[in-house]
Amino acid sequence: MTQINGTIDLDALAGTLCKLGGVGNVRDLGSAGPMRASADDTGLFHCLFGRDAIRMALDLLEDFPEVARTTLVTLAMLQGVRMNARSEEEPGRFLHEHRMPDDPHAVRLNEFWDWPYYGAVDTTPQWINLLTMYTAVQGFDILREELTDRRSRIVSIRDSLVSAVEWLLGRLDDASGAGYLWVRRASDSGNRSQVWEDSSDAFHDENGILFDASRPFAPVAAQGYAYDALLGAANLLEHSNVLSARSPSELRRRAVQLRAMTLRHFWQPDLRTFAHALTIDAHGVATPVRIVASAPGHLLATKILDGAEFCRLRDTLASRLLEDDMLAGAGIRTKSTRDPLFRPGAYHNGSVWPMDTGVIADGLRQHGYVEQADDLENRIISACATVGDFPEFFRGDLDGRVSINRESLTYLRDGRLHFREQPPQIHQGWTTTRVWRILRRRGAVSPDL
């Protein structure tokens, strides 16, 4: 097992959490709204990102439930209510990113997007999953909490849940997506990859050719999030006795259907892992993209692989994720070293993200692989201690050393400048909350820090 080298500066940890939450003391986290994606005041990500805020709220739920509550309510206030291709807003959809008018980065991005920008398919099911987790700890009163939506209507969190479920089922029912939760940007300026691996080259085939942005594709991890969301929404609607066009039994039936399809079409026995995604052609035929990536590990942290009948599959996947081509000094690489676009410092094609590795560790622990989970968490803590901060990602170098990119490497594609490698955000939100979660489980920190 990897030993922890160095220690985390607990004052720096608390200070970064406070910057992310806009408060002066960690005990007040949540009082100033959701956590920002980055603590750097002038950084690119010092704003509200839906999936990041949700992930951070999940990390902090045990100690700071107010972070989860304010995240749920704020995102519900900004939930989509109309169709708008420039912002990719759709009724019931939760946002990817929101910036205020005085944000200098918003001025630059205004050329391409309207705000809030909704180009994400994982934020909506993950909002449902956060609501499910929050009510399990804090009770169901939040379902009755009222707010003002983007049409200036008074609605409740329960109403937002119903709208989110309709959006999710609408995606699953759309024939162009072959029954999966799928990605296809609504305009040429939208995000190509609308999950957490959101760089333009994160999704490619076995020859390194990028996906056709005009065709839908189904990312593997999003299917696990959707499965949990269907089950969670069924329980929430059943508890609240809300009148809805969708019954709890229908949602559970759809979850069973999605699980069967995912296990049947994504699993690649010879690769001993799930395909990174399915591409879907004009006839609705889904083809697995046989890329070995970290994303299938997120399925372990959902319920989609629960059950004794999937024990051998879980064993195989867990073992594959920890092989040398995937396991680096700081954790699990986003892509195998054999990937055609692999670079140790590439944003989503070989780097190591503490958030990603941490989610996989959660899944391993959930299924009894405690020693392996501890090892991954040790790597996260040691890596952060080595660089003395909480960076967005680390390099996935083959020799096992721990380091971060210090400069950018760029190239031209389609007349635009793209990054092969770039320095990480140095005070990243979901790295910081992951470190807190690990140390909290080990009794090294408390909310009274």
Domains and CATH numbers, the chain: 10-441 (1.50.10.10)
Q: With beta carbons less than 8 A apart as the criterion, state whether 390 and 383 touch.
A: no
Say if CB 429 and CB 37 are below 8 A apart. yes
Taking 50 as the pLDDT cut, the residues of the chain under it are none
d(CA 334, CA 341): 11
Q: pTM (2 decimals)? A: 0.97
The pLDDT assigned to 3 comes to 64
pLDDT at res. 413: 73
Give pLDDT, residue 5: 63
CB-CB neighbours of 322 under 10 Å: 17
CA distance 239 to 46: 37
Q: Which long-range contacts (CB under 8 A, 24 or more apart) does 134-138 make?
A: 134/61, 134/65, 134/68, 134/69, 134/72, 135/236, 135/239, 137/61, 137/62, 137/65, 138/65, 138/68, 138/69
Say which DSSP state 95 is in.
P
- Alpha-carbon gap, residue 344 to 374, rounded angstroms: 24
